Structure 1
Amino acid sequence: MAHASSPAETEWWKSAVLYQIYPRSFQDSNGDGIGDLAGIAARLDHLVDLGVDAIWISPIFPSPMADFGYDVADYTGIDPRFGTLADFDALLAAAHARGLKLLLDFVPNHSSDQHPWFAESRASRDNPKRDWYIWRDAAPDGGPPNNWISDFGGPAWEWDAATGQYYSHAFLKEQPDLNWRNPDLRAAMMDVLRFWFDRGVDGFRIDVLWHMVKHADFIDNPVNPDYRPEMGEMHAVLQTHSTDQPEVHAIAAEMRAIADGYGARLLIGEIYLPVPRLMDYYGTADAPEVQLPFNFQLIDAPWDARSLARLIAEYEAALPPGGWPNWVLGNHDRPRSATKRGAAQARVAAMLLLTLRGTPTIYYGDEIGMTDTDIPPDKVQDPRELREPGLGLGRDPVRTPMPWDAGDGAGFTTGVPWLPISPDWRTRNVAAEDDDPASMLALHRALLALRRAYPALAMGDYVSVAAEGDILAYERRLGGERLLIVLNLGAMPQTFIAPEGGFRPILSTLPGALPDTVMLLHPDEGLICTL
């Protein structure tokens, strides 16, 4: 199966590698235990040495931090914990000076309940901003207007005694949902995009894009017949009417039109939907939407070769004309790759991520093999865990500070870190891996260097190659350049017969000599070869 690439694909983000920074945990510059913008600026050279092309920074706007920045109180400011607008401008200039693009996290589904807009909205029923949020009368029994459930558990409605109505919140009650059906709210939020584009940002990752519009009639969601309590209460119903409504596409298209008006700008959509519905968020030729609807399939995919081969083929086949693929292994909400697959297979997974066709995103710390950190109950910060404890849904374990060296505070802070540092930080840190040719960091640098050296890895076609057992194999082709990727997803040695014409291994996920005849892969080994 082959999927051709257009010869005119010159947008920077198609050949780029993105890197997600969770700012609270990347680098603290002032000793308060919380990462900040000056800290990110101080570590840009690490990202240049790594070989990435763009950074995406999770929310840095003023916030009460009920959900650690995803409850925005001012869309055009910087939270003092992270710095100032001047610090942001300095970071942006420093990134651009190094050839790095910078993307921000846009949170359009909801604001903080401390946002001035919401203060006005809840002041009275006849306030001009009342309709900027979603207000509904109680059900006949006095309860919530419908059966919608918050993604953090409990009803997705909060009673406001002062005005005698409920307001909608898809997440915490401190995160009231914005009403995108109101034209004034819509215009105000589009102006937020313009504010940051005018400042020079290169794009946005759009938080929970598929949540932004609710059914106009607020119909009950269907009961989930497969619900089990360990899934989390949000899964007790199917979000048929509270998410993925048809009207969201016109909004995404308007965002894209604004971005395109600024030139080479990128929009990424956070969208957890089945692949056929995900494809709708690319938009159409006449009304394009986000360039990259995030493809999260690898995070939860069965880690066996045949399943992955089918997943990749089906995703490639589903892409609309002109649609560019993208891949991720983890993020600030999901378990880390090295935790899910173990240290050995995490190396193979990294080679998969960085050799598939499409734009990959690396989550901070994955380049050194960070794993989830157990958080003692008295150190838990995440409201997701605090609301439904014991289900393993908390996100703190994947948000712990980046270990830079073996010194006190792991080089992250001179103070007390906001979350515990991973217990192996004295041996698993950037400085320790920096000069180790067998380290995870060295592997990432080598993979990213190959993407620059071989255009086929960044922009070439994807062609599956027949393989059996635990072997996943495919080619990347561009012009006369052909590269073969062979991944052993198992714990036993595997023999792979390369295509006729010979091959030359150029990188293994394991240190040591490369094969030069029959391709014998060690357990948990991946190889990149030229053909």
Structure 2
Amino acid sequence: MLTNWWHDAVVYQIYPRSFCDSNNDGIGDLQGIISKLDYLQNLGINVIWLSPVYRSPMDDNGYDISDYQDIAPEFGTMADMLQLLDEAKYRGIRIIMDLVVNHTSDEHPWFVAAQSSIDNPYRDYYVWRKPNADGTPPDDQGSLFGGSAWQYDEQSGEYYYHLFSKRQPDLNWENPAVHQAVFDMMNWWIDKGIGGFRLDVIDLIGKEIDKGITGNGPNLHPLLQKMSQSTFGDKSLLTVGETWGATPEIAKLFSAEQRNELSMVFQFEHITLTWGNGDKWQPIDFNLPALKQVLTKWQVELENEGWNSLFWNNHDLPRIVSKYGDEGQYRVKSAKMLATTLHFMKGTPYIYQGEEIGMTNVAFDSIDDYRDIETLNFYHERTANGVSEETMLAAVHENSRDNARTPMQWDSSDYAGFSTSQPWIKVNPNYPEINVDEALHDTQSIFYHYQRLIELRRAFPLIVGGRFVPLLEQHEQVFAYIREDDHQQIVVMNNFSDQTVEIILPDALAHCGLETLINNYEPHVQFTNKLLLQPYESFAALIV
């Protein structure tokens, strides 16, 4: 029995810096978001996941927070934030705050105090270790952004731990005072009327550093249960954890209702399939059977326990039409196909800004045009170690986080209507052809396909709660499945290739009548024993 409002919600992620600039300083802001709420209401979403807008020195574009209870001046003021909450609520849209509690900025008052003296009460809010006898770091753990995870502090003669940038020191979750400070802050935001939290790298807070355990440490779930009990647990809020190391069994620990932890998690097994040996900077070719196997596994194993988040894109990932689709001749067809594939599965769908108009990856000519700290660090580290600049730039074009961070393309005017000033990062040069204005004036656009998918999710309870039955599991080019309950069946067919494909249908489907719900070519009205799918053809239909 599905009882929570977020089971049939559709979430839209906004990366504020790149969404809409209202004051023309080249940086997106809260008033820019407010100005586009009618557009989002028209799309049909009812939740916004807002990437961090807290005060921050922006070493990692806001994921390095220096004050959890203030707004970064480039984004606006707390009054703007409260206006956004009110204006969104008026339109039936809830705001999910993106919250980073694994680490803070090195400019956070807690860390400034911790750094001031070994005896300071805030010292134990962070993780400090003495150097080895020869002055080297305590161990050889590496930062996820490259280099050592230990940074030497000249003033105290000790090292502090940072899994990300050296300007993002990790909080010490073994200290109960940290728990209380974080929970008080979360309750402060809940009292402001937010709809929940997206919890950044939350699977890292249970780490045991001296044992080299970072993700899914033994203390993780007790900490999350304490967090839930102290903050959102008795409230009707959506909570989603970013968990790079999750398996279906681990996801159930996070999201099974009786465990009182989170609503759902983001897992990334389907994302890392194109990473060679788990390294995003060594991209490998897309393999559809592997993708089907992963997505089917998650659908089946979380069918009756836990809950899936459904996503292709976010602020850290390449544009899906460039990754699994065709950004050229079949951009519109393949973008619609990818949307249909995702939105008919069981779980809560997430749309990343620009996905609904088929925005693509960007291939800047020079590394100097990139802004992402992870991209720049790894580019310079790898090229210094002998990897050619051409090889690294090709990897950057494919997997850099900046692919998702170029400005939202609103129209064909200068800077894509994002701003009237030079944006903080260059606009994708294809904005004159790919933009919201074009999409809204074309009744066959990707935008209206997403709008229809959202309408269908609300119209057919079986899309939200029905069973997932895989079809044609070994097929090299087609991802097909059935969604069913005790009353209806919907068949979903998706050709992931640029070839016309003939498939032999299972006997149970042959000669069934069809009532098309959504499609990107001419509708099929009845199955025979064979089905011909055009390049990137996709449809969902009621079996009648």
Distance, in Å, in 2 between the alignment partners of 1:287 and 1:128 is: 33
Whole-angstrom distance in 1 between the partners of 2:214 and 2:130: 17
Question: How far did residue 315 of structure 1 move?
Answer: 1.6
Are the counterparts in 1 of residues 255 and 265 from structure 2 also a CA contact under 8 Å? no
Q: Which residue of structure 1 lines up, in the alignment, with residue 186 of structure 2? A: 193
Tell me by how many angstroms 1:263 deviates: 2.1
Q: Is 1:366 aligned to 2:355, yes or no?
A: yes
Question: Residues 421, 201 of structure 1: CA spacing in aligned structure 2 closer, same or farther, 3 A cutoff?
Answer: same
Q: Does 1:505 align with 2:516?
A: yes
More deviation, 13-22/464-473: 464-473
CA distance in 2, matches of 1:127, 1:210: 28
**Are 1:378 and 2:368 an aligned pair?**
yes
Query: Distance in 2 between the 1:98 and 1:499 partners?
Result: 44
Give 1:522's aligned residue.
534
- Per-residue CA deviations over 1:229-268 (Å, capped at 9, x if unaligned) read xxxxxxxxxxxx2332110111111222245455210110
Give the C-alpha shift of residue 281 in structure 1.
4.1
What's the offset of the Cα at 1:396?
Answer: 1.7
Alignment partners' CA distance in 2, 1:165 and 1:305: 49
- Corresponding residue number in structure 2 for 1:299: 271
Which runs of 5 or more residues in structure 2 are unaligned?
275-285, 380-391
Counterparts in 2 of 1:469 and 1:130: CA distance versus 1, 3 Å: closer
Pairing 1:31–2:24 present: yes
Please name the residue that 1:472 is paired with: 479
Shift of residue 464, structure 1, vs aligned partner: 2.1
The 3-state SS of whatever aligns with 1:174 is coil
Shift of 1:48: 1.2
User: Residue 104 of structure 1 is aligned with which of 67, 81, 97?
Assistant: 97
* 1:244 aligned partner: 216
**Residue among 394, 406, 413 paired with 2:412:** 406
Confirm or deny that 1:387 pairs with 2:393.
no
What does residue 338 of structure 1 align with?
321
Q: How many residues align?
A: 502
Q: Go from structure 1 to structure 2 and tell me whether the alpha carbon gap of 1:478 and 1:325 turns closer, same or farther (over 3 Å shift).
A: same
CA distance 1:98–1:269, shift in 2 (3 Å):
same
Task: Choose the corresponding residue for 1:324, options 263, 283, 307.
Answer: 307
Matched, 1:397 2:403: yes
Amino acid at match of 1:400: T
SS in 2 for 1:77: strand
Alpha-carbon deviation of 1:280?
A: 5.2
Q: CA deviation at 1:273?
A: 1.0
CA contact (8 A) 2:510 2:527 kept: no
Report the Cα distance in structure 2 between the residues aligned to 1:151 and 1:140, rounded to whole angstroms.
26
Distance (Å, rounded) in 1 between the aligned partners of 2:496 and 2:270: 14
1:451 paired residue number? 457
1:363 counterpart letter in structure 2:
Y
> Are positions 1:150 and 2:143 aligned together?
yes
Q: Which deviations, in whole Å up to 9, do the C-alpha atoms of 1:22-63 show, x marking residues without a partner?
A: 000001100001111111111011111111121101000000
Question: Are the structure 2 counterparts of residues 193 and 281 from structure 1 closer, same or farther at C-alpha, using a change threshold of 3 Å?
Answer: farther
Amino acid at match of 1:523: P
Structure 1 range deviating more: 119-128 or 476-485: 476-485
The code of the aligned residue for 2:72 comes to D
TM-score (norm 1): 0.90
- The alignment status of 1:311 with 2:322, answered yes or no, reads no
SS in 1 for 2:317: coil
Q: Which structure 1 residue ranges, 5 or more long, are not aligned?
A: 1-7, 222-240
How far 1:478 moved relative to its partner?
A: 3.2
State the superposition RMSD in angstroms. 2.0
- Separation in structure 2 between the aligned mates of residue 291 and residue 243 of structure 1, nearest angstrom: 19
Q: Could you tell me how far 1:438 is from its partner in structure 2?
A: 2.6
1:32 & 1:278 partners in 2: Cα distance?
44
User: CA offsets, 1:88-123, max 9 Å, x none?
Assistant: 111011111111111011100111111111111011
Check the 8 A contact 1:406/1:429 in 2, yes or no: yes
Matched to 1:69, the amino acid is G
What's the counterpart of residue 275 of structure 1?
247
Code of the aligned partner of 1:381: R
**Structure 1: distance between partners of 2:25 and 2:483:** 47
The residue aligned with 1:128 is 121
**Closer, same or farther in 2 for the Cα pair 1:394/1:301, shift >3 Å?**
closer
Q: Which residue of 2 aligns with 1:462?
A: 468
User: Are the equivalent residues in 1 in contact too, given 2:415–2:423 (CA < 8 A)?
Assistant: yes
Separation in 1, partners of 2:85, 2:296: 38
8 Å Cα contact 2:53/2:62 also seen in 1: yes
What SS does the aligned partner of 1:422 have? coil
- Aligned letter for 1:478? D
2-structure distance, mates of 1:23, 1:480: 43
How far apart, in 1, do the equivalents of 2:356 and 2:202 lie?
28
**One-letter code aligned to 2:55:** P
1:113 to 106, 126, 129: 106
User: Deviation string for 1:197-256 (max 9, x for gaps)?
Assistant: 00000111001111223315x13x4xxxxxxxxxxxxxxxxxxx2332110111111222
Q: Which residue of 1 aligns with 2:386?
A: none
User: Identity of paired residues, percent?
Assistant: 37
**Which amino acid is 1:34 matched to?**
I
1:508 partner amino acid: N
- Tell me how far apart the structure 1 counterparts of residues 294 and 160 of structure 2 sit (CA, whole Å): 40
Q: Which amino acid aligns with 1:298?
A: H
Distance (Å, rounded) in 2 between the aligned partners of 1:261 and 1:275: 23
Instruction: Give 2:516's aligned amino acid.
Output: P
CA 152–315 in structure 1, closer or farther in 2 if over 3 Å, else same: same
Distance 2:188 2:267 in 1: 28
Inter-partner Cα distance in structure 2 for 1:469 and 1:25: 37
Cα separation, 2, equivalents of 1:381 and 1:38: 23
Tell me the distance in 1 between the aligned counterparts of 2:303 and 2:177.
33
Aligned twin of 1:492: 499
Cα drift, residue 274 of structure 1: 4.5
Structure 2 distance, partners of 1:413, 1:439, is 24
2:435 is aligned with 1:429? yes
- Deviation of 1:133 after TM superposition, in Å, equals 0.5
2:55–2:72 contact (8 Å) kept in structure 1: yes
Match of 1:290 among 246, 251, 262: 262
